[in-house]
Structure 1
Amino acid sequence: MHSESKPLGEFDLIQRFFKTGADQMRSNSDQTIALGIGDDCALLKPAPGEEIVITSDMLVEGRHFFMGANPALLGRKALAVNLSDLAAMGAKPLGFTLAIALPKADTAWLEAFSKGLFDIANQYSCPLIGGDTTAGPLTISITAFGSAPSGKAIRRSGAKAGDEIWLSGSVGDARLTLAALRQEINLSDNELKQIEHRMHDPVPRIELGIKLRSIASAALDISDGLLGDLKHILNQSQVGAEVFLDQLPKSASLQKQSETIQKQFAACGGDDYEICFTAPTEHRDAIDVISKELHLPITRIGRITANTGPTETLQLLNNGNLLSNTETAKLLKSFDHFAK
């Protein structure tokens, strides 16, 4: 990539790569954005009877993505992971802010990044409404705003004993992609092309989240690994769970790997950004209808159990056989942002 001979200042950078695109989006959006970029703060005006849903995620070069990552895909992913959080709570996107630290104002990089960012922002009608820029190690921080009818946002604390555990899409391909890029596993170029979008360009399940508002008792998105993330629901709901490892939905690519790799990547791989949710058994037919309407597989992977101890109980079964405590412990290592 080539930088211009004349350095871009902060306000020139914002005007050229972010404000113009944001203005174009807002002109086509609904009336929830009362004031966007240009003042000290943006103003949101949700519809009557709606609550504001807020989430924030940070991506750091070398920690969350490789150095030299494709900037267009990076722009898409930076917003997608926030939209995935909104989806998990059944929220409709309203807008987002962007704070970005850049090692230098590289024109070609910024053009590609902003294009990817606004492509997905337009796709989900989520305009940029503010933010900040500075010099520093490449760090992208987005705060996204959404809305849901009052009392209808899906929380992590609503799971009840007897509820079933469901999972959208499939899990494990992002971790398989990472393993291939790290040369931990050998995949052909064709095999890698079939799955690498799961790591670089995740799909936020916005439509699914909205349809689950009156069906799911609890939900979250899978970012740090299925089992590790599911424990958040168990903790917040004060329940236990049984998870059927042999029922976890996996792609054909992952199914070619050893059984050990399949279980580890599907259960704890991370970066999947699918929706895991719980629902009473009487909603099975409704979930099947949603799956068909969205052309999205939704798989029943376990059930919620009563919890009688001081901490949550998570039991793992494979083909009906209960895993030992040692096997379970190996699978419960989800991603830790501070682990070395």
Structure 2
Amino acid sequence: MLTFFISHVTLNIMFGEFNLIEKYFVGRQPSRKDVMLAAGDDCALVKVPEGMSLAISTDTLVAGTHFLKHANPAWVAHKALAANISDLAAMGATPAWVSLALTLPELDESWLAPFCDSFFKLADYFNIQLIGGDTTKGPLSLTLTVQGFVAHDKALRRDGAQVGDWIYVTGDLGDSRAGLDVILNTDLRDKPFAEDLEIAHYLATPRVLVGQALLGLASSAIDISDGLVADLKHILKRSDVGAHLELSDLPISSQLIQFLGGVDKAQQYALVSGEEYELCFTVPKQHKESIDSALAHCGCKVSCIGQIRPNGHFELSNKGKVVDWPVQGFDHFQQD
């Protein structure tokens, strides 16, 4: 690959280092037409389409912080790549290329095989080509850089929301937080839909089609990685505006309600659940009637949950009654 480097210090420790690269990473995908060079040199070479800007996102996942060391490697691969793709989706960008830096404590093919199978399955689904990376020995972690493109001056940003814009989210919210509860507390595995919610924590669906469809319609957008309230407040800060959210309009799954035993608790989870990788976006009044038809082909639920208000105003209500709930963003769990 773009040369997957392995330091000489680890050559005698990791079995078949170059065979590892050949077996699991090279030749797994057809080459995109815009990839000029992806193997055998110091850098990959790609062509950005004319009239497009390059969109780049990098994320690191560390065992014990973003996932448990004994987590299903296929789920870890999906989560890592989906998180990066979601960042591109939030900008309305088309994903194209990815590089992967993988640090392993030891060569464990029973871990690496399902990891790579899952990684390439998701990459192929979004037509993303792996163009390079790095492998080394050390504590389990992975860093991905995904690149894509979006038309000049058309990217969705966080600083475009205006007073009066409507606030939307995709999908259901709160499931990822409940799944994390199950991961961290095995006593919860007997509760209704515990397994489904754990899977939801790992196997998010990046909303690429939604982001692309919102170009020219949405005034701002962000993906929900730290929780709805925390991420919405990024938009509010960058746009110098406030917001009102209606809790009864939050999209919540029946599985989450049954798992938590009530709607109020589920609403609280929906406000703070991190690593959802759904989109939160704002839409000007003149485009509100166009949203349903514009997103009809995207295959996901879209819900209007509130409206942008003047700066300094942030309010939660439930069927018209103001609710004073303390809400905090998502904290990555720490686990040895």
Q: Do the structures match in fold with TM over 0.5? A: yes
> Does the Cα contact within 8 Å between 1:101 and 1:136 map onto a contact in 2?
yes
CA-CA distance at 1:197 after TM superposition = 2.6
Distance change (3 Å), C-alpha of 1:125 and 1:249:
same
- Name the SS for the 1:25 alignment partner: coil
- Name the SS for the 1:154 alignment partner: coil
Partner of 1:220: 222
CA-CA distance at 1:44 after TM superposition = 1.9
Partner of 1:3: none
Correspondence 1:201-220 to 2 at 5 A? 201-220=203-222
Partner of 1:288: 292
Partner of 1:12: 19
Separation in structure 2 between the aligned mates of residue 194 and residue 336 of structure 1, nearest angstrom:
22
Pairing partner for 1:247 from 244, 249, 265: 249
> Does the Cα contact within 8 Å between 2:219 and 2:283 map onto a contact in 1?
yes
CA-CA distance at 1:289 after TM superposition = 1.1
CA-CA distance at 1:317 after TM superposition = 1.4
Q: Deviations over 1:177-229 (max 9, x none)?
A: 12233338745476123333321111001111110111110001101110001
> Does the Cα contact within 8 Å between 1:33 and 1:94 map onto a contact in 2?
no
Distance change (3 Å), C-alpha of 1:158 and 1:339:
farther
> Does the Cα contact within 8 Å between 2:65 and 2:333 map onto a contact in 1?
no
Separation in structure 1 between the aligned mates of residue 313 and residue 38 of structure 2, nearest angstrom:
46
- Name the SS for the 1:72 alignment partner: helix
Q: Deviations over 1:238-294 (max 9, x none)?
A: 111111122110000122323442122100011111010001122222211134322
- Name the SS for the 2:131 alignment partner: strand
Separation in structure 1 between the aligned mates of residue 156 and residue 275 of structure 2, nearest angstrom:
21
Pairing partner for 1:335 from 306, 322, 330: 330
> Does the Cα contact within 8 Å between 1:291 and 1:297 map onto a contact in 2?
no
Distance change (3 Å), C-alpha of 1:259 and 1:194:
same
> Does the Cα contact within 8 Å between 1:179 and 1:185 map onto a contact in 2?
no
Q: Deviations over 1:3-52 (max 9, x none)?
A: xxx9424333222211222xx331xx2x2222213211111211110110
Partner of 1:89: 91
Separation in structure 2 between the aligned mates of residue 207 and residue 215 of structure 1, nearest angstrom:
14
> Does the Cα contact within 8 Å between 1:74 and 1:113 map onto a contact in 2?
yes
Correspondence 1:22-61 to 2 at 5 A? 24-26=29-31, 29=32, 31-61=33-63
Correspondence 1:72-83 to 2 at 5 A? 72-83=74-85
Separation in structure 1 between the aligned mates of residue 278 and residue 56 of structure 2, nearest angstrom:
19
Separation in structure 2 between the aligned mates of residue 320 and residue 71 of structure 1, nearest angstrom:
45
Aligned AA (1:194): D
Aligned AA (1:264): Q
Separation in structure 2 between the aligned mates of residue 138 and residue 183 of structure 1, nearest angstrom:
22
Separation in structure 1 between the aligned mates of residue 188 and residue 110 of structure 2, nearest angstrom:
33
Q: TM-score by structure 1 length?
A: 0.89
Aligned AA (1:298): V
Correspondence 1:154-303 to 2 at 5 A? 154-183=156-185, 186=188, 188=190, 191-256=193-258, 257-303=261-307
Separation in structure 1 between the aligned mates of residue 221 and residue 304 of structure 2, nearest angstrom:
14
Task: Tell me whether 1:317 sits opposite 2:324 in the alignment.
Answer: no
The alignment yields a C-alpha RMSD, in angstroms, of 2.1
Distance change (3 Å), C-alpha of 1:339 and 1:159:
farther
> Does the Cα contact within 8 Å between 2:59 and 2:144 map onto a contact in 1?
yes
Aligned AA (1:295): G
Correspondence 1:96-115 to 2 at 5 A? 96-115=98-117
> Does the Cα contact within 8 Å between 2:14 and 2:137 map onto a contact in 1?
no
- Worse-matched range after superposition: 174-183 or 42-51: 174-183
